[in-house]
């Protein structure tokens, strides 16, 4: 499917899937190696994402891992201002996504730093939907529902609300790891292609999550192979964006998938 997003006033094609690299400015992300807080580390991570083939840099400043306690809005904003300022200086052409569930944080990121995408794992309450519609940026709508059927109903309802508000660019995230058992995560992955009925781009984020490391009986640090395997499955089932810690490996999956689809010379 040749989806497009309006990014920085231009249409970006998603005909070939893109990679979204994770940049966590938190001390408590579930995957320790993804945490960066020093200015030099933030700059280095942003550069790494771009160099390894990432199209989007997804900046998170408030951990949403299961069981975590969210930091205050003020702390989240402080962390984001540091990271977004560095990215703006060091990677001025990067497409920046901000991972937040707070409307005022979304407003700050877009109005002060020109963030291009709001990645909201909350599922979109009324205030957030109104905010992203006013800001006019691409919006990642996440389902925390446990089954495909419930996710489809949720997406249909929320997307219609966004359309009624005049919002155009919506990306659907089925929410692997959010509100789902291990079995439900894999059931959803097995039927992922059915979400294409929504005619909207799909973002898949399974990178080093518990659905992989618990099943394989490893730590998150040992879950790269499982992540790569599921990323390839997701691409085969229509994912347009892979949100990952390991950008190079995901970009290689995209390249291999293009060869399988005869879009590049093998």
The catalytically annotated residue of 18, 243, 255, 263 is: 243
Say yes or no to pLDDT of 31 above 50: no
Say yes or no to pLDDT of 220 above 80: yes
Mean pLDDT computed over 143-170: 96
CA distances from 180 to 83, 114, 144, 211 (A): 31, 33, 7, 9
How far is residue 179's CA from residue 176's CA, in Å, rounded to a whole number?
8
pLDDT at 72: 92
pLDDT at 185: 97
Mean pLDDT computed over 120-138: 92
Q: Which residue has the higher pLDDT, 106 or 34?
A: 106
- Give the pLDDT band of residue 32 (cuts 50, 70, 90): very low
- Are 236 and 202 spatial neighbours (Cβ–Cβ below 8 Å)? no
- Give the pLDDT band of residue 264 (cuts 50, 70, 90): low
Q: What percent of the chain has pLDDT over 90?
A: 83
Average pLDDT, the chain: 92
Say yes or no to pLDDT of 181 above 70: yes
Q: What are phi and psi of 142, to 5 degrees?
A: -105, 135
- Give the pLDDT band of residue 36 (cuts 50, 70, 90): low
pLDDT at 77: 95
pLDDT at 66: 65
pLDDT at 29: 52
pLDDT at 265: 56
Helix/strand/coil for 215: helix
Q: Which residue has the higher pLDDT, 266 or 7?
A: 7
The catalytically annotated residue of 18, 45, 208, 209 is: 209
Residue 209 is a catalytic residue: yes
How far is residue 132's CA from residue 118's CA, in Å, rounded to a whole number?
8
Q: Angle between the 103-113 and 126-135 helix axes, to the nearest 10 degrees? A: 10
Say yes or no to pLDDT of 115 above 70: yes
Helix/strand/coil for 141: strand
- Give the pLDDT band of residue 266 (cuts 50, 70, 90): very low
Residue 255 is a catalytic residue: no
Mean pLDDT computed over 60-80: 84
DSSP-assigned states of every residue in 29-82:
-SSGGGB--SHHHHHHHHHHHHHTT-SEEEEE-S--STT--PPPHHHHHHHHHH
Model pLDDT for residues 228-260, shown as the tens digit of each residue: 999 999 999 999 999 999 999 999 999 999 999
Say yes or no to pLDDT of 107 above 60: yes
pLDDT at 40: 87
Say yes or no to pLDDT of 16 above 60: yes
């Amino acid at each position: 499917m040749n989806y497009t997003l309006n990014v920085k006033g231009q249409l970006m094609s998603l005909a070939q899937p893109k990679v979204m690299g994770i940049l966590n400015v938190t001390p408590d992300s579930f995957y320790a190696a993804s945490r960066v807080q020093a200015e030099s580390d933030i700059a280095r991570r942003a550069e790494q994402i771009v160099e390894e083939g990432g199209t989007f840099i997804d900046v998170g400043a408030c951990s949403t891992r299961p069981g975590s306690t969210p930091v205050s809005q003020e702390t989240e904003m402080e962390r984001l201002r540091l990271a977004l300022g560095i990215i703006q200086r060091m990677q001025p052409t990067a497409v920046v996504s901000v991972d937040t569930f707070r409307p005022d944080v979304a407003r700050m990121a877009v109005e002060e730093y020109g963030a291009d995408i709001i990645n909201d794992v909350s599922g979109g309450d009324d205030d957030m939907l109104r905010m992203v519609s006013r800001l006019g940026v691409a919006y990642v709508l996440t389902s925390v529902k446990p089954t495909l059927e419930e996710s489809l109903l949720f997406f249909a309802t929320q997307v219609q609300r966004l359309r009624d508000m005049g919002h155009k660019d919506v990306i659907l995230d089925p929410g692997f790891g959010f509100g789902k058992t291990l079995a439900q995560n894999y059931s959803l992955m097995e039927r992922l292609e059915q979400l294409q009925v929504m005619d909207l781009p799909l973002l898949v984020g399974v990178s080093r999550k518990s659905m992989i490391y618990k099943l394989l009986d490893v730590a998150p640090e040992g879950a790269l192979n499982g992540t790569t395997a599921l990323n390839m499955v997701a691409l085969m089932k229509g994912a347009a964006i892979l949100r990952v810690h390991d950008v190079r490996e995901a970009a290689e999956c995209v390249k291999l998938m293009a060869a399988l689809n005869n879009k590049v010379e093998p």
